[in-house]
Amino acid sequence: MLLFCPTCGNLLTVEEGSRCYRFACPTCPYIYNITSKISSKTYPKLKAVDDVLGGAAAWENVDSTEETCPKCEHPRAYFMQIQTRSADEPMTIFYKCCDALCGHRWRE
């Protein structure tokens, strides 16, 4: 929590006084003794994250291949190829396990 001096507008600092902590202005003689616990919690709102691969609809019409799932050992996986880097780099292959209970995703 940031507090500002009501006299000059500078940021108040916390310092230890003779009997308690206090807010003090570094440029003017303003002092405010802290008599109770001061706390404030603010949770930022998270942005909605877009699915880079196009969400669940991107996996609707893809082919499957013989690729073993590293999580459940299922022998088949859906796959799609996407150019994620520059044109002179190879395409990235994304896999999704064909087992409906697993659905693990990985890339190569």
What is the per-residue pLDDT across 65-86, written as a single tens digit (0 to 9) for each?
999 999 999 999 999 888 888 8
Domains recognised in the chain with CATH numbers: 1-42 (2.20.25.10), 56-107 (2.20.25.10)
Distance of CA 99 to the CA centre of its chain: 29
- Could you tell me which of 21, 3, 36, 27 has the C-alpha nearest to residue 12? 3
Q: Give the span between the Cα atoms of 74 and 94, in whole angstroms.
A: 16
Is 20 assigned a ligand-binding role in the annotation? no
Q: According to the model, what pLDDT value does residue 54 have?
A: 66
Is 98 assigned a ligand-binding role in the annotation? no
- pLDDT tens digits for 33-56? 888 887 778 888 988 766 666 666
Spatial contact of 24 and 15, defined as CB atoms under 8 Å apart: yes
Q: According to the model, what pLDDT value does residue 51 have?
A: 65
Q: According to the model, what pLDDT value does residue 35 have?
A: 84
Q: According to the model, what pLDDT value does residue 58 have?
A: 76
Q: For residues 60 and 99, which has the higher predicted lDDT (pLDDT)? A: 99
Token pair, residue 59, equals: 């996996």
Token pair, residue 46, equals: 């998270």
> Three-state DSSP class for 99?
coil
- Could you tell me which of 15, 16, 35 has the C-alpha nearest to residue 25? 15
Q: According to the model, what pLDDT value does residue 70 have?
A: 93
